[in-house]
Chain A
């Protein structure tokens, strides 16, 4: 077994009387898509937020790329190479599509405090940003305001921004949310090819996509991981069927 890029051990998070993360242990290995599924309110997004550094865990350890990152904030974790997308698109509405991606490139370049050179003429930002837009199929929307593109296109833009960060691991929080069947299919194909670039921790409700993509699946119910395994193992797991997949699975 190759060393995990990202590993969580015994992560616990409590909000009042609600145990959002209950002793979660989970890892993400090179080249894999690890899907995290579970019913609404199981604590999937809360877990993503803890990994991204947006909220602090009460206890437990997170290791990323061989380093313990418990005390690092979201900015530092992003700079280390953890790229996340949001369940509800979180973009710069007044910026053009291109500018949204350029901002991420700016961060990767490490040179944000430059005061004089016009950013739109900066080829070292524009070209790699355009390249990512081409990868997700948004190049023809580059000059439109992010607020003016369609919902599906905003999802694609979220992906392009994450790609532009050239991360060592992706945290994708329901990338298919609100996409039509056509869009979901296209994104499924895209994510399939993406695992070669960096492993993906994928939170997703679209079971077709999950079963098509995942190397491993973890099932989260009431903050606890009740099972981790391959697609076939999860499909055959009685606990999972009862708790989540229901009769039809």
Chain B
């Protein structure tokens, strides 16, 4: 079997993504490992958004809500555990935890429930209304976090010791990177399988022609709602890892800037491309640190770049390198 160009580009991306931090470890440059970890986490958030934005055609401008929910799941559970304060004592005892696996499960469940509620309302609208209402919901959660003093309010919440994972020293940069990279790999694999499944076919169909979907007897709404929930869960998982990377969570993770950044990763890398979010997140971090170190207004060229991508290169970075996609 011959490898097509997109597979080749994806392979190069994956190899580079793993090689850079390994080389950085050899050169004793932990900062670069941290940057690569950030790329992995942002890419994961993007993989979540890409599911609805790229494959479902739903421009959610509120994914920071789920990213932040993941972050707060990590922050809140850890702070209770570290302060030896149970979250709830009656009717039954619920204690905090510093185990990432438990935190992830909580993040997945809470984000799924919130996404189900938000999706059930927002998915009845479309186009600009959908964008604005998802934004509005995310902002509601953002202001809620700011005005809730129990968990730091505006100042955020510190996680004094990074949460643990069985058999791994998560404080070691390369180990934590490996954990994030493996999680990213799992999420991307899951996403690849999902879009090739019956559900994936229906999701992409609902993007292209809802009228036709209805005529063949499949209601787009239910398909989109399930996709929205799965998408939110993936982004929440990324949020939990991000809080652990920074050992800090604050309402910033919930703000519309964050929603915009996640969207930028997807658009820069390639909307509806499996490796798009990874390419986009990597490019974003590279630009932030190369340009950002020489010029404080580095976001200006980023804006110009984004404009060029939107106007001339719809497939983003992956699209430019790999050429137009055949069919879905």
- Selected from B197, B199, B214, B327, the residue in CB contact (under 8 A) with A75 is B214
Contact A111 B212 (CB under 8 A): no
Q: Is A134 interfacial (CB-CB < 8 Å)?
A: no
Per the 8 Å Cβ criterion, residues 110-134 of A in contact with B are 111-120, 122, 125
Please measure, in the bound complex, the distance between the C-alpha atom of A116 and the C-alpha atom of B212, giving whole angstroms: 24
- Closest A residue to B193 by beta carbon equals A116
- Assembly CA distance A126 to B100 (angstroms): 42
Q: Which 4 A-B pairs have the closest CB atoms?
A: A78-B217, A107-B217, A79-B217, A114-B198
Interface string of A41-75 (1 = CB under 8 A from B): 00000000000101000000000000000000111
Q: Does B8 contact A (CB under 8 A)?
A: no
Q: Mark B209-227, 1 if CB is under 8 A from A, else 0.
A: 1011111111100010010
The answer to whether A103 touches B196 (Cβ under 8 A) is no
* Contact call A103/B218, Cβ cutoff below 8 A: yes
| Contact present for A92 and B197 (CB under 8 Å) | no
- For B272, give the chain A residue with the smallest CB separation: A94
- Tell me, in angstroms, the Cα distance from A113 to B219 when the chains sit together: 12
Contacts of B209 in A (CB 8 A): 90-93
Q: How many residues of B contact A (CB 8 A)?
A: 27
Interface stretch (choices B69-77, B129-137, B200-208): B200-208
Is A103 a contact of B193 with CB atoms below 8 Å?
no
Count residues on chain A whose CB falls below 8 Å from chain B CBs.
40
Q: Which residue of A lies closest to B208 (CB)?
A: A92
12 additional contacts, CB 8 Å, given A78-B216, A103-B218, A112-B223? A74-B214, A75-B219, A95-B328, A96-B328, A102-B201, A106-B198, A106-B201, A108-B217, A115-B193, A116-B193, A120-B196, A145-B327
Residues of A contacting B194 in the complex (Cβ-Cβ under 8 angstroms):
115-116
Q: Which residues of B contact A4 (CB under 8 A)?
A: none
Which B residues lie within 8 Å of A103 (CB)?
201-202, 205, 213, 216, 218
Task: Tell me if B327 and A94 are in contact (CB < 8 A).
Answer: yes
Does B124 count as interface, using CB distance less than 8 angstroms?
Answer: no
Contact at B196–A96, with CB atoms within 8 Å? no
Query: B216 contacts which chain A residues (CB < 8 A)?
Result: 78, 103-104, 107, 161, 165
Report the nearest A residue to B210, measured CB to CB: A90
Which B residues are CB-close (under 8 A) to A83?
215
Chain B contacts of A145 at CB under 8 A? 326-327
CB distance from B225 to the nearest CB of A (A): 11
A113 touches B226 (CB 8 A): yes
- With both beta carbons as reference points, the residue of chain A lying nearest to B213 in the complex is identified as A103
Report how far A106 CA is from B217 CA in the complex, Å.
Answer: 10
Binary contact readout B19-49 vs A (1 if CB under 8 angstroms, 0 otherwise): 0000000000000000000000000000000
Q: Are A94 and B201 in contact (CB under 8 A)?
A: no
Nearest chain B CB to A24 CB, angstrom units: 22
| Number of CB contacts from chain A to chain B under 8 A | 102
| Chain A residue with the shortest CB-CB distance to B218 | A107
Answer whether A119 and B327 are a contact pair too, CB < 8 Å, given A92-B208, A92-B209. Answer: no
Provide the residues of chain A in CB contact with B208, threshold 8 Å.
92-95
Within the complex, what minimum Cβ distance (angstroms) separates B272 from chain A?
A: 9
In the assembled complex, how far is the CB of residue B34 from the closest CB belonging to chain A, in whole angstroms? 34
Cross-chain contact of B197 among A73, A84, A119 (Cβ < 8 A): A119
Which residues of A lie under 8 Å from residue B201 when comparing CB positions? 95, 99, 102-103, 106, 119
The answer to whether A94 touches B202, judged by C-beta atoms less than 8 angstroms apart, is no
| Bound Cα distance A75, B215 (Å) | 6
With A75-B217, A106-B218, A118-B193 already in contact, the answer to whether A95 and B198 are too (CB < 8 A) is no
A-B contact pairs, 5 of them (CB 8 A): A54-B214, A94-B208, A95-B208, A114-B199, A118-B193
Contact residues in A for B193 (Cβ distance below 8 Å): 115-116, 118
A94, A96, A108, A119: the one contacting B198 at CB < 8 Å is: A119
A68 and B328 alpha carbons, distance in the complex (Å) = 39
In the complex, which residue of chain B has the Cβ closest to the Cβ of A125? B198
Residue of A nearest to B217 (CB): A78
Please name the residue on chain B nearest to A77 by beta carbon.
Answer: B217
Q: Which residue of B lies closest to A76 (CB)?
A: B217
Residues of A within 8 A of B213 (CB): 103
Bound form: Cα–Cα A74–B216 in Å: 9
Q: A115-B194, A119-B198, A119-B200 are in contact. Are A90 and B215 (CB under 8 A)?
A: yes
